[in-house]
């Protein structure tokens, strides 16, 4: 039985959307962002409500294909579609885009053109070596973003507020880490599916409410007896997994435990805190610049991160789901498998639902080999 029913998260989500709608009526601004490089602390310090735009879905993808070609990655197409379909996306007053992969770099332009939503395009170097001029430019970009957000909300960003928001998001990171770390145990109680729900809900709720929610979940975990099942311990990886991919996690967790991940919608968001030393924007610069991702060049840090998790969480297999036309993750499939040296199930799909039974067959066959 699921530790926290899915319906509970859905209810929390609906209530939060109502709150956001009400806040907007009072003049609040909602700022959407996509990935782990968006400095949510700055958004919140400007008095805006940051919401992570991380829905997929088949209907959204099909709708999005009216704006982009069908060989744009499924997530980009779904983003476009969700600006028509999803209640959270419809509340967005502005979008913070980041120069990550090429498609995500270009997505904000399409959003601005077709939906008239202002976009703040943050340039973050793709090269990962933190050379002074690269870091300095990223720092300058954060300054510009802060200015743009201040214009949007008419709230100047003051240092005390930014410090306080850094602390708040650090606390959220720490709590998500704590929840995720319960999966160090054999046969963990917290499933990969619940962890995904928890993180996705946290990014919608904001740090204060999300921390309360996670504390409650941790209390439930602590109170519940744990049975040794001896099921295989798996890691998740690949392109962005959204709430709409929950079905895959459920399918895998019928017979295995997902104990960790290298997802941007998973551990990579909360693996570390924003450092404590230095001026707030300097710290945010260092922190966000150093996040590992497959699209960075070279992407050695991501490989090292994955290897460390495999050791730390005693991972026996990798479920690697890429989205169609997601080059950064797709291209690395073979290299990653070779480097990690563990069995890998690679699923390359869009958000369509017709292939689920085929996926089930492949998942079951993979699990049998472990």
Partner 1 sequence: MSLTGRTGLTSEWSDPKPARVEFGEWLELFDRVPDELIERYHYYSNGEAWSKYLFPPQTFAIYGARHLRRLKYDNSLAALRMWGFVQNETERLFRARQAGRRVIATMGDLGAVPVIVNSFPGCVAFYPDCIWWTPFAMESQVLFDAAAELGIGDATCFSRAALGAFAKHSYFPDPDLVIASTGASCDDYSGVEQLAEQFAREMLWVEMPMRCGMGPIEPMRRVLVEEYKRVVAAMARLTSHELTDDELRSGIRRANAVRKTVARLRELAYGGGVLAALEMMVVEFGNLHHYSDITEWTAVLEHLLATAEERAAKGERVVGEAALRVVWVTPPADPLLLTYIEDAGARVVGTEYVINQALQMIDESRPPLDAIAESFMAASLIGTSQSRAETVIRQARERQAEGVIISGILGGSHCAMEARLISDIVKQELDLPVLEFDVAPPSNEIGRQLQTRIDAFLEVLRSRR
Contact footprint for partner 1 (CB under 8 A): 67-69, 71-73, 76, 99, 101-103, 105-107, 109-110, 113, 120-123, 125-127, 129, 131, 133-134, 137, 140-141, 144-145, 148, 295, 297-299, 324-325, 327-328, 330-335
> Of 200, 269, 239, 106, which Cα lies nearest the Cα of 95?
106
Taking the least distance from each CB to partner 1, the nearer of 207 and 237 is 237
> Distance between CA 201 and CA 193 in Å, rounded?
12
Q: Are the beta carbons of 257 and 194 closer than 8 angstroms? A: no
Of 87 and 118, which CB lies nearer to partner 1 in the complex structure? 118
Report residue 234 as tokens: 């798996």
Compute the CA torsion angle 355, 356, 360, 361 (nearest 10 deg): -20
Q: Map residue 121 onto helix, strand or coil.
A: strand
Tokens 């085929």, residue?
358
Pick 300 or 353: Cβ nearer partner 1:
300
How crowded is the C-beta side of 120, counted as CA atoms within 13 Å? Answer: 25
Give whichever of 201 and 299 is closer to partner 1, judged by the CB atom: 299
Query: Least CB distance from residue 164 to partner 1, whole Å?
Result: 25
**CB of residue 288 vs partner 1: minimum separation in angstroms?**
15
Q: Least distance from C-beta 254 to partner 1, angstroms? A: 30
Distances (CA, A) of 359 to 67, 137, 186, 355: 29, 44, 26, 6
> Least distance from C-beta 82 to partner 1, angstroms?
17
To partner 1, the closest distance from the beta carbon of 239 in angstroms equals 12
Handedness of CA 17, 18, 20, 24 (dihedral sign): positive
Residue 79 or 256: which CB sits closer to partner 1?
Answer: 79
| Residue nearer to partner 1 on the CB measure, 288 or 313 | 288
CA 78/CA 240 separation, integer angstroms:
12
CB of 113 to partner 1, least distance (A): 7
Which two tokens mark 103? 């498609």
């Amino acid at each position: 039985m699921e530790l926290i029913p899915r319906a509970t998260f859905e209810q929390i989500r609906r209530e939060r959307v109502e709150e956001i709608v009400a806040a907007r009526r009072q003049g609040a601004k909602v700022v959407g962002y996509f990935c782990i490089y968006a400095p949510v602390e700055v958004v919140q310090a400007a008095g805006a409500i940051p919401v992570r735009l991380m829905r997929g879905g088949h209907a959204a993808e099909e709708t999005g294909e009216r704006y982009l070609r069908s060989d744009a990655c499924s997530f980009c197409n779904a983003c476009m579609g969700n600006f028509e379909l999803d209640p959270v996306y419809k509340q967005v007053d502005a979008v913070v885009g980041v120069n990550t992969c090429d498609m995500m770099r270009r997505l904000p332009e399409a959003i601005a053109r077709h939906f008239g939503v202002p976009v703040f395009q943050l340039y973050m170097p793709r090269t990962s070596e933190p050379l002074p001029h690269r870091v300095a430019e990223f720092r300058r970009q954060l300054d510009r973003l802060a200015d743009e957000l201040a214009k949007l909300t008419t709230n100047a960003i003051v240092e005390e507020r930014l410090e306080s928001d850094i602390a708040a998001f650090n606390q959220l990171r720490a709590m998500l880490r704590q929840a995720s770390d319960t999966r160090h145990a054999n046969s963990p109680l917290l499933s990969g599916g619940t962890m995904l729900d928890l993180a996705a809900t946290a990014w919608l709720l904001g740090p204060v409410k999300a921390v309360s929610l996670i504390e409650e979940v941790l209390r439930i975990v602590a109170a519940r007896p744990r049975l040794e099942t001896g099921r295989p311990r798996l890691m998740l990886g690949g392109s962005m997994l959204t709430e709409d991919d929950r079905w895959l996690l459920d399918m895998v967790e019928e017979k295995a435990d997902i104990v960790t991940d290298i997802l941007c919608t998973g551990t990579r968001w909360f693996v570390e805190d924003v450092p404590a030393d230095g001026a707030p924007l300097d710290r945010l610069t260092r922190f966000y610049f150093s996040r590992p991702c497959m699209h960075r060049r070279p992407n050695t840090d991501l490989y090292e991160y994955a290897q460390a998790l495999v050791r730390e969480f005693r991972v026996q297999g990798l479920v690697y789901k890429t989205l169609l036309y997601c080059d950064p993750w797709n291209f690395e499939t073979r290299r990653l498998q070779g480097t990690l040296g563990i069995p890998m199930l690679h699923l390359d799909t869009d958000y369509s639902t017709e292939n689920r039974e085929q996926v089930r067959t492949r998942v079951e066959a993979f699990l049998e080999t472990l």
